[in-house]
């Protein structure tokens, strides 16, 4: 038996209303859910970065080694830095660690065209600076990113991540370039250096004329995430969840650093 | 359990625990016979001025991932520049064999008997009793000097690699 003819338009309108309500409900729920997931992941990344920094700077680790060679370590000093800029160059890692980073040639409408060492009147706060018995200084920047991160060109979050990392590195290399005989910059990684970071540091070295020293697996035995990163060998990585993408820049948040 | 290695600020020795900077490390840092022998060999080599390490330097882009992961697990220092990485791995044990008498000669006579006991025990893969303070301090200094030499050699090798180019990427 057919329904009454007047019921048809009502059914159509009702269905449309129901679909609209469902869409509205979904669209309001998904951002909230996504926001919550991102917040959680962001907190985890920030906590991990800070925890690694605390681990390296704990009395038995870096301070003890600096003292062993007669130096003196100061954590989180305020560092005045000359203001300079370089043209931004972004990288992508589409095929993983072994394939390395490639220059991301895509247009970056939402990304900085220039990387600045410091804002007007600003300063930097590196993780630590060691002063040797001869007065020479070594700046330490402590990082714990996953080496296996893959991303194609054109990712906005990847440009944010690289802008934060590169601006900071530019500042430190600019500082070292002012007195290269007595200043150097050490980048300490908990595991392996990611290809994009390696490529950025090479690019900045070519621009500034002074490069960093890169030390991997630093104090990694006492820091479980470093081991987890390296045990999760490239290619065995599970697919990167979409919510994790916006987290990456936070690993290099200047506040956190 | 893997212990913290001697790999850091201007000091680097492969597969030697950081605690070696204070002398014979505690048992927890020398968990098995291989670790004890390795530490003993490093001390003996250091006393004779013989490198207890082998150095290899790679362009980063050409350094194989399995080697990097092995270095991570074996506690072989990986250090260098953004373009090159030097890896320090332990010298083969047979290259360091027979150096014990020469190492003891390098010590003050008053410490030789104790040092001989400690080093022989380590070479057997066993744990020695903690040496007296004077010997402990001396063994720590010996390892520190060797670790600084190794670090400088590794970093110098990496720095000798070609400069990065403007088009690098």
The answer, yes or no, to whether residue A96 has pLDDT greater than 60, is yes
Higher pLDDT, B121 or A244: B121
Each residue's pLDDT tens digit, A30-75: 455 555 555 555 556 666 677 999 999 999 999 999 999 999 999 9
Q: Determine whether the interchain pair B169/A89 forms a contact, defined as Cβ–Cβ distance below 8 Å.
A: yes
Q: Is A70 left (phi over 0), alpha (psi -120 to 50) or beta?
A: left
Whether the CB-CB separation of A250 and A45 falls below 8 Å is answered with: yes
Does residue B5 belong to the interface with chain A, where contact is any CB pair within 8 Å?
Answer: yes
Radius of gyration of chain B (CA): 17
Radius of gyration of chain A (CA): 24
pLDDT class for B129, splitting at 50, 70, 90?
very high
Nearest CB partner across the interface for A214, out of B5, B7, B82: B82
Q: Using DSSP, state whether A214 is helix, strand or coil.
A: strand
Nearest CA-CA partner of A92 in A252, A243, A248, A218:
A248
Each residue's pLDDT tens digit, B53-68: 999 999 998 899 999 9
pLDDT > 70: percent of chain A: 72
Does residue B98 belong to the interface with chain A, where contact is any CB pair within 8 Å?
Answer: no
Nearest CA-CA partner of B63 in A201, A216, A158:
A216
Minimum Cα–Cα distance from B166: chain A residue: A206
Note the pLDDT of residue B47: 97
Distances B49 to A181, A256, B146 between C-alpha atoms, Å: 28, 44, 8
Q: How far is A212 from chain B (nearest CA, A)?
A: 6
Minimum Cα–Cα distance from A234: chain B residue: B65
User: How confident is the prediction for chain A on average, in pLDDT?
Assistant: 80
Q: Determine whether the interchain pair A213/B80 forms a contact, defined as Cβ–Cβ distance below 8 Å.
A: yes
Each residue's pLDDT tens digit, A161-186: 999 999 999 999 999 999 999 999 99
Q: Determine whether the interchain pair A138/B9 forms a contact, defined as Cβ–Cβ distance below 8 Å.
A: yes
Q: Which two tokens stand for residue A4?
A: 């009454």
Note the pLDDT of residue B75: 93
Q: How far apart are CA A129 and CA A176, in angstroms?
A: 12
Instruction: Find which of A62, A172, A217 to mutate to test the B interface (most B CBs within 10 Å of its CB).
Output: A217
Q: Determine whether the interchain pair B11/A130 forms a contact, defined as Cβ–Cβ distance below 8 Å.
A: no
Instruction: Find which of B3, B8, B17 to mutate to test the A interface (most A CBs within 10 Å of its CB).
Output: B8
Q: Using DSSP, state whether B62 is helix, strand or coil.
A: helix
Whether the CB-CB separation of A172 and B82 falls below 8 Å is answered with: no
Which of A132-136, A161-165, B72-76, B94-98 is the least confident region? B94-98
Q: Give the other-Cβ count within 10 Å of A18's Cβ.
A: 10
Minimum Cα–Cα distance from B84: chain A residue: A214
Note the pLDDT of residue A88: 95
The answer, yes or no, to whether residue B168 has pLDDT greater than 50, is no
pTM of this structure: 0.83
pLDDT class for A221, splitting at 50, 70, 90?
confident
The enclosing H or E element of A24 equals: helix A7-57
Q: Which two tokens stand for residue A104?
A: 């991301």
Nearest CB partner across the interface for B68, out of A138, A192, A198: A192
Note the pLDDT of residue B112: 96
ipTM of the modeled complex? 0.91
């Amino acid at each position: 038996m057919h329904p009454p003819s007047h019921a048809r338009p009502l059914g159509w309108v009702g269905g449309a209303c129901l679909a609209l309500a469902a869409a509205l409900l979904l669209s309001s729920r998904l951002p909230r859910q996504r926001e919550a997931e991102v917040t959680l992941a962001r907190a985890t990344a920030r906590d991990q970065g800070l925890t690694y920094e605390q681990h390296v700077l704990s009395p038995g680790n870096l301070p003890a080694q600096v003292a062993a060679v007669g130096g003196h370590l100061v954590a989180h000093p305020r560092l005045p830095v000359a203001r300079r800029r370089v043209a931004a160059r972004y990288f992508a890692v589409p095929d993983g660690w072994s394939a390395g980073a490639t220059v991301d040639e895509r247009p970056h409408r939402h990304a900085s065209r220039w990387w600045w060492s410091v804002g007007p009147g600003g300063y930097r706060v590196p993780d630590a600076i060691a002063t040797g018995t001869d007065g020479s200084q070594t700046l330490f920047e402590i990082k714990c990113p996953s080496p296996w991160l893959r991303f194609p060109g054109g990712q906005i979050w990847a440009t944010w991540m690289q802008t934060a990392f590169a601006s900071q590195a530019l500042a430190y290399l600019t500082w070292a370039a002012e007195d290269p005989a007595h200043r150097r910059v050490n980048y300490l990684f908990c595991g392996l250096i990611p290809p994009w970071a390696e490529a950025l540091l090479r690019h900045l070295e070519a621009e500034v004329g002074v490069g960093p020293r890169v030390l991997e697996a630093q104090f990694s035995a006492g820091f479980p995430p470093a081991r987890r990163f390296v045990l999760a060998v490239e290619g065995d990585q599970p697919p990167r969840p979409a919510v994790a993408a916006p987290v990456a820049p936070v690993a290099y948040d200047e506040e956190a650093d | 359990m893997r212990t913290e290695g001697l790999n850091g600020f201007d000091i680097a020795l492969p597969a030697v625990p950081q605690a070696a900077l204070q002398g014979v490390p505690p048992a927890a840092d020398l968990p098995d016979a291989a670790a004890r022998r390795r530490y003993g060999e490093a001390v003996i080599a250091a006393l004779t001025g013989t490198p207890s390490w082998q150095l290899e330097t790679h362009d980063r882009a050409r350094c194989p991932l399995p080697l990097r992961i092995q270095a991570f697990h074996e506690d072989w220092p990986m250090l260098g520049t953004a373009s090159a990485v030097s890896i320090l791995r332990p010298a083969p044990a047979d290259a360091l064999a027979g150096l014990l008498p020469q190492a003891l000669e390098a010590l003050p006579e008053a410490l030789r008997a104790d040092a001989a006991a400690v080093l022989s025990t380590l070479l057997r893969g066993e744990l020695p009793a903690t040496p007296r303070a004077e010997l402990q301090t001396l063994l720590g200094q010996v390892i520190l000097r060797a670790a600084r030499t190794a670090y400088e050699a590794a970093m110098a090798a990496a720095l000798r690699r070609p400069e990065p180019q403007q088009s690098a990427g």
